[in-house]
Structure 1
């Protein structure tokens, strides 16, 4: 049987005019979600699609996940939730980033479900629901060690004991050190959450984010909610990444020039050439989300992270030279054959040859930031092998 070719959907800038392109492998994204769903069993598996599906586009990501069997989605903002509903009307959508009174009519109309994480929000929700015969559902967020959003464990236990309170449809907490399974705080959070599950018996619960799914001592839960791992990022620190690469970022080479030994490169003259150097100047910069901290020199972070970022072209990795600027980044291609690359060619910034998280580490950050910083000047190609009707 002949293998089916992926269908290509395009978006963003015209490829003839754009300085770079993003290739998003939706088949790989679906394969990652299915892998995480299998690992989560017997729990159900949701998908976190906040920040416009980690920069990849809700309108493209949600439909393929729905087709794969995902029925529950988490977003940060109600506005994002409405965009999920527009492409998956029957999806169950939870809104993580708090609740404000003026948004109540939207929740009444849209079937979105807020995640409430303070006594103030709970009181407000109760007040606004008072005149309704059928109360709108909500999720209860409890802080078990993150010190960010959520009721304290003590507040949640007291709330559970008060029979006058409307019960949530889901109980959640968030792991603070999930990417480091050896950290003692994980076990403390698991134990606290188990007490909460007992107090809220019969209510669906969720503790496992991407790294949490990989914990062997995670205990019982009903719903996992993967995020970064679904998009190809590393779920655990200091462990091989089992996820498939989803995103490839490439920039076009604008010009190739030769700098002479002793000359300097870029803003601040931070790099002095130690040899005659062939330089590929590429149409990508921090305005496109390719972070200035990836620079080869001339930024404070280089004191902490010795090497800057790299590109991949003509079968080899090549280092960034000088500073990443708003629209342009330079690479040292001296070690490539003279005719190996030319203006108009593409250089990979991360993808199959430079892992997302390796590129992030070179910039002193994490894969989350690189994905969610992707700008709108790229030509985007979405690859998806459609199933037969």
Structure 2
């Protein structure tokens, strides 16, 4: 049987069929692997938990990589509730490589961190038939397992066929849930030369892929006023919380100015005892936008808001646009169509949809690397105590990734 994938042709030869059959028998091992990894809390701030997971993951990938290293990342700045800029330590990145000199190169990536902190009550795995509930089982430790088995399958293919013209790099970071602030430089260093990329974020609950993604930026506006006694000297005070509320209103009014662009005021830090005029407040907000062309106009409006400062007060803007939009250009669409046709081979009916969510696929796309970023497991309710994944999606998603990889072999 011969399948035509855009410019690529792939035959389901006996070796390929044999490896697909091998993957079909790996579900129990995949579930066990996933349960072991998901049992370790890896909230972004849990550096010890992330290091523990990285050591276990490194042990599993060692046998199929030429070399694998754990790279530290620089501390990143953050704004405290008092408006002070402090350093935040982050866990590192596992970088593994195979056949660096091969004709064609792939980058495969997924994050090891979750949104659940070490003291989160959501720590227990629960199996109910075909559904596994637990922290990170879908986002994205299930995808990490899928990646591991897809690459094990690829290496079986290379051994069977002798074709070593596809090399690959894995990038497993620990800070994606806060925007890959520390690991973005490692993506630029190790991912920019790849011909294509696969990222193992969970697919949509329907099983479909994500196509176009919006860009995203996280910001803080620090407002500094003057503290005063609320009874004796109220009028000597400059109320930072009131000024912050006005900033929040102006930010919210930006919604609707540009199509499909949203400004979400998420939190205002500030205030204290009722008898003190508050002197510091911090407005935290997120922007989602469909086109990089909007960044300049949005930045202009943010500066305008910060400069519109009441007398006796000071405002400062922090943060920035950390994930550019991921447009559906021609190379990206060709790769999506290839994945879709690979899915048809194993009975998956795949389509793709646009979303406002962002991931490391945005960062790779900005580096010029076409990538499909929802190659992970089927599940849902991510970022909530109801997170789940479907066990019977593990094998098909690994088969899908394997077929996609060999469709790119020269």
Shorter chain as normaliser: what TM range?
A: under 0.3
With normalisation by structure 2, the TM-score equals 0.23
Higher strand share: 2
With normalisation by structure 1, the TM-score equals 0.24
